[in-house]
Amino acid sequence: MTCQARYLLAALVLALLAVTTACTPDYPAGPSGRVTDRDRAYFKSGGWRYWLTVDGRKFRVTRADYRHCVRGSNYPTCTTRG
């Protein structure tokens, strides 16, 4: 294997690793209860960030959880897609 092929392979592996880790944020689960508020904000440094409020406690969630959990729904039941 030539030196150029090794660099290309290493670059592909690093790119794949970066994509797979960047696409799966892992936030701690919030409290169980009824969703009372939803919030989102755009940051130039990091893009969109999403939060839900349950029983007065605000916590960060993924975009998918934000979209599936509307006001009045039960958290974390609203996060499962069946």
pLDDT digits (tens, 9 = 90+) for 9-51: 878 877 776 665 556 678 898 999 999 999 999 999 989 999 9
- pLDDT at position 62 is 93
Number of domains in the chain: 1
- pLDDT at position 61 is 95
Residue 74 clears pLDDT 80, i.e. is over it: yes
Confidence of residue 54 (pLDDT cuts 50, 70, 90): very high
Residue 52 belongs to domain spanning: 3-79
Q: Classify each residue of 28-62 as buried b or exposed e, where b means 16 or more C-beta atoms within 10 Å of its C-beta.
A: eebeeeebeebeeeeeeeeeeebbbbbeeeeeebe
**Longest Cα–Cα distance in the chain:** 60
Average of pLDDT values for 75-80? Answer: 91
